[in-house]
């Protein structure tokens, strides 16, 4: 049966890819804080044959959260994310706060917003897009790592609170994913370090990933499809790690 899926930060990258994958079977709402970007993505998807709704939604905006709580959502995908890289001593306090607001407080508040209708319908699936940085750290990413670690604690807590209903909450944790953003970083790093793009991939990006491959967006979409499907109804509070062996170190 078609479910109503709400995806945050879905006008690009992983969120956009998951939206396309789920649009074949479900009624998907892509959302993002930028109205122009979310509309453009909706039009692009429509031309590619994927029909989705578009909604302006900033995960930190109280009015948007209130509007979400008035909708009936079956599947919530907390995907919106941002990055900032700096050693802790130089990390601007407002940037630290912003990363936590978008990637930890945001998912907690969207979860709070959708739970009333999920409980009424006795059905709900919540997926957080975490990261390998939900489990391990990299230097200079203190806010990102803290927010992504926090998602696992959030999922464990909510899973216990909603266990009496057919509602699950899990966190998908990828290593580096093959997105436009990551591809652009490769070009930039090659210029900064004066090395080839192949060396950036091998020596920097995939240094910690023994399988030496980026995670494909489709692998994440397939994992989400499994977690929202019937065989995963007793899988809750878990971290699903797609890291090419990173955390085996
Ligand atoms: P992306 O930049 O393409 O997507 C992030 C989206 O979040 C953007 O569309 C942006 O507009 C949106 N966003 C930012 N702030 C927002 C806010 N306040 N409200 C609503 N939307 C907001 O990057 P991506 O790689 O597709 O990242 C998606 C998720 O995957 C993020 O949570 C990221 O941390 C996670 N992730 C990415 C990688 C990777 O290698 N790309 C690896 C691990 C985890």
CATH of the domain at 219: 3.40.50.720
* 195 domain residue, yes or no: no
User: What confidence category does residue 181 fall into, taking pLDDT thresholds of 50, 70 and 90?
Assistant: confident
Give the count of domains, the chain. 1
* 129 domain residue, yes or no: yes
* 209 domain residue, yes or no: no
Q: 19: alpha, beta or left, given left = phi > 0 and alpha = psi -120 to 50?
A: alpha
Catalytic residue status for 144: yes
Across the chain, what does the average pLDDT equal? 97
Per-residue model confidence (pLDDT) at position 69: 98
* 202 domain residue, yes or no: no
CA of 13 to the centre of ligand 1 (A): 7
Residue 133 has pLDDT above 90, yes or no: yes
Per-residue model confidence (pLDDT) at position 209: 97
* 166 domain residue, yes or no: yes
* 197 domain residue, yes or no: no
Share of the chain above pLDDT 90, in %: 94
Residue 190 CB less than 6 A away from ligand 1: no
User: What confidence category does residue 184 fall into, taking pLDDT thresholds of 50, 70 and 90?
Assistant: confident
* 232 domain residue, yes or no: yes
Residue 207 has pLDDT above 90, yes or no: yes
Helix axes 93-100, 142-161, angle to 10 degrees: 30
Q: What domain range includes position 71?
A: 4-175+215-242
Mutate to test the pocket of ligand 1, among 10, 14, 204 (most ligand atoms within 8 A of CB): 14
User: What confidence category does residue 176 fall into, taking pLDDT thresholds of 50, 70 and 90?
Assistant: very high
Q: What is the CA radius of gyration of the chain?
A: 18
The span from the CA of 117 to the CA of 89, in Å, is: 43
- How long is the chain? 249
- Is the distance from CB of 234 to CB of 167 less than 8 angstroms? no
Q: Which two tokens stand for residue 178?
A: 């093959």
For residue 87, the tally of other CB atoms under 10 A from its CB is 9
* 162 domain residue, yes or no: yes
Per-residue model confidence (pLDDT) at position 188: 84
């Amino acid at each position: 049966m078609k479910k109503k899926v709400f995806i945050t930060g879905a006008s690009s990258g992983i969120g956009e890819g998951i939206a396309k994958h789920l649009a074949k079977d479900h009624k998907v709402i892509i959302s993002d804080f930028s109205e122009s970007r979310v509309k453009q993505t909706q039009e692009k998807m429509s031309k590619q044959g994927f029909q989705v709704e578009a909604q302006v939604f900033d995960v930190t905006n109280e009015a948007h959260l209130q509007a979400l709580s008035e909708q009936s959502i079956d599947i919530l995908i907390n995907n919106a994310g941002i990055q900032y890289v700096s050693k802790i001593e130089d990390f601007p306090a407002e940037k630290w706060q912003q990363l936590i607001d978008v990637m930890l407080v945001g998912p907690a508040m969207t979860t709070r917003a959708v739970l009333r209708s999920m409980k009424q319908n006795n059905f709900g699936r919540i997926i957080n897009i975490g990261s390998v940085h939900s489990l391990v750290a990299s230097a200079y990413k203190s806010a990102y790592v803290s927010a992504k670690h926090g998602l696992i604690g959030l999922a464990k807590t909510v899973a216990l609170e909603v266990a009496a209903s057919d509602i699950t909450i899990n966190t998908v944790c990828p290593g580096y994913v093959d997105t436009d953003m990551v591809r652009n970083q490769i070009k930039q790093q090659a210029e900064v370090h004066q090395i080839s793009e192949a060396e950036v991939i091998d020596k920097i990006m995939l240094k910690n990933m023994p399988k030496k491959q980026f995670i494909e967006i489709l692998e994440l979409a397939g994992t989400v499809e499994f977690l929202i499907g019937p065989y995963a109804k007793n899988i809750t509070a878990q971290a699903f790690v797609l890291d090419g062996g990173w955390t085996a170190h």
